[in-house]
Structure 1
Amino acid sequence: MSLITVAYAQWPEGLTPDSPQWQQIAEQVRAAGADLLITNEMPFGPWLAEHATFDAQAAQHSVALHESALDALARLDVPAVLSSRPLLADGRLINEAFVLDATGYRFVHQKHFFPEEPGFHEQTWFTTVEQGFDVIEVGKLKLGVLLCTELMFNERARHYGRDGADLIAVPRASGTDYRYWDCAASMAAIVSGAYVISANRTGQAAQGQRFGGHGMAYSPAGQPLAVAAKADDHALLQVVRIDLEQARRQKYEYPCYLQNVD
């Protein structure tokens, strides 16, 4: 059977795993019956990069909160969860994508590209320790991860396609202008021949940065499958079914059959 059910989130700013809203989220995830859940980028607690100055105490708190939330994610009734979390390194944070499944915690990727602008002072807060963009296997699925801004770099999506990815997962924390994200997701699918599914944060951070929701799913041919409701509609989860055979066939279609030409 080549069909995989994927749920992708748009969870709110400031979420904690001991809140009533988390209980609602857990119920929705269990009801979805998904094989894989993709969360938004660093889904717990406040968005630190809204602040223009690095705060070591706030960074440590975010690390501890995400560490404690691993148990809550593992207790969701879903075979695999793909998310990201902050970890301390070299006096700053790293943003590490990971999978939780039957084998436990698995490292996937660390974010490489960081914007530096109002609301997103990520160069101030983050660094990269582990280099590389590698495809991993999660059950029958081969996937790669592009964390938020990394979606804007088509060469990385093409690389994943050349390595056989069926799906590119894109946890993100982005604003309310969707134009770049829709275009980038569609192009990432086209150049990779893989499904592209992105989950985004919602709500408003302490200093006013607004997150726009608008989770997305695109077919290996770059066609939209589904778009989650806008942030103000309070939709916390979207579900799509993907066909692994379609992703594998698309590798032999234009432009993916040119993958060996550099």
Structure 2
Amino acid sequence: MNVTLGLIQMAMAEAPADNLATAEARIREAAAQGAQVICLPEMFTTLYFCRTQDPDAFDLAEPMPGPTTDVLCALARELQVVIVAPMFEKRMTGLYHNTAAVIDADGTLLGKYRKMHIPQDPGFEEKFYFTPGDLGFRAWDTRYGRIGVLICWDQWYPEAARLTALAGAQILFYPTAIGWLPAEKAELGAGQLNAWQTIQCSHAVANGCAVAAINRVGTEGETEFWGHSFVADTYGQRVAEAGESEKILLHTVDIDALEEFRRWWPFLRDRRIDAYGEITKRAID
């Protein structure tokens, strides 16, 4: 079984309606080129407002399901594609999440993943906005395979990838908003990009999954989002990669090859689950 992925690497505008219109156009284009599972970048409806702490930014959040997922569910049903749509979710007044909707090819909202790991760095003030996820690490059976979704900062945590793979995910999607700060780029930029790619490629190897990382592009304030969306195979090879401009990145994954890899590289079989109890501790004293 083959499945064609469509990664929408895009720059965001200030108006959410403009971003939704752009995303819809890109999804249509990807579907016309054969994409079956299409993923948008982290919080695709907005600029990356987490560069600062601004209470007015909470007005950008919306319920899920809500107006945007209604549009995308109809689009998925029309085009017969799966859509992963990461957005700013308003759960209730005063409670907000960084969330991805998973929509099947018949237009059904299968569920959502709420970002579990929330960063706090200069230019990435996410703890001010987002409540950590409480839905756990999940995978969904879609028309085109069983997929898992993790979001941005989650990508640095092997535990998140492992638990999503143990839930049965064949493909791990990582919608992302990550970039360079001008004070760091000259000295650290190449190393930061390499670290971002390497850690996600390692998840593909360790779990026998394909990995798809979808980043935004463009400069917002001082942050230069670096793009470089990519697909990694089970050997950790970047078999498709975008540059630093807007692009629809397509790649076809052989689901049967994932099964074959796990048979010959049985990392899941050989896990010593009897010896990992201390992984749930903050530190081993």
Residue in 1 that maps onto 2:211 = 196
Of the three residues 133, 151, 160, the one matched with 2:155 is 151
TM-score norm. by structure 2 comes to 0.81
In structure 2, the residue matched to 1:95 is 98
Equivalent in the alignment of 2:184: none
String of CA shifts for 1:196-246, please: whole Å, max 9, x gaps. Answer: 0011111122x3222111101000221111111223xx32x1000001111
Q: Which amino acid aligns with 1:7?
A: G
Is residue 251 of structure 2 the alignment partner of residue 240 of structure 1? yes
Amino acid in the other structure paired with 1:5: T
Distance 2:233 2:133 in 1: 32
Does 1:229 find its partner at 2:247?
Answer: no
Asked if the contact 2:95–2:131 (Cα under 8 Å) also holds between the matched residues in 1, the reply is: yes
Provide TM-score, normalisation by structure 1.
0.87
The letter for the 1-side match of 2:240 is: A
CA RMSD of aligned residues (A): 2.4
Distance 1:259 1:8 in 2: 33
Indicate if the aligned counterparts of 1:189 and 1:222 stay in contact, CA closer than 8 A.
yes
What are structure 1's unaligned runs of at least 5 residues?
A: none
* Matched positions, count: 255
Report SS of the residue matched to 1:116: coil
| AA partner of residue 200 (structure 1) | N
Q: Identity over aligned residues, as a percent?
A: 21
Alignment counterpart, residue 112 of structure 2, candidates 108, 114, 119: 108
CA deviations on 1:91-149 (whole Å, 9 max, x unpaired) are 24201121122152222311011111122111111012523102211114111111111
Higher share of residues assigned helix: 2
Report the Cα distance in structure 1 between the residues aligned to 2:64 and 2:262, rounded to whole angstroms.
Answer: 40
> Which consecutive unaligned segments of at least 5 residues does structure 2 have?
181-191, 274-285
Residue in structure 2 matched with residue 9 of structure 1 by the alignment: 8
- 1:155–1:61 CA distance, 2 compared to 1 (3 A): closer
Structure 1 CA distance for aligned equivalents of residues 64 and 22 of structure 2 = 16
Give the letter for the 1:144 counterpart.
G
Match of 1:79 in 2: 81
Give the letter aligned to residue 183 of structure 1: T
Contact 2:64 2:90 (8 Å CA) reproduced: no
1:191–1:255 contact (8 Å) kept in structure 2: no
Contact conserved, 1:185 with 1:196, CA < 8 A, in 2? yes
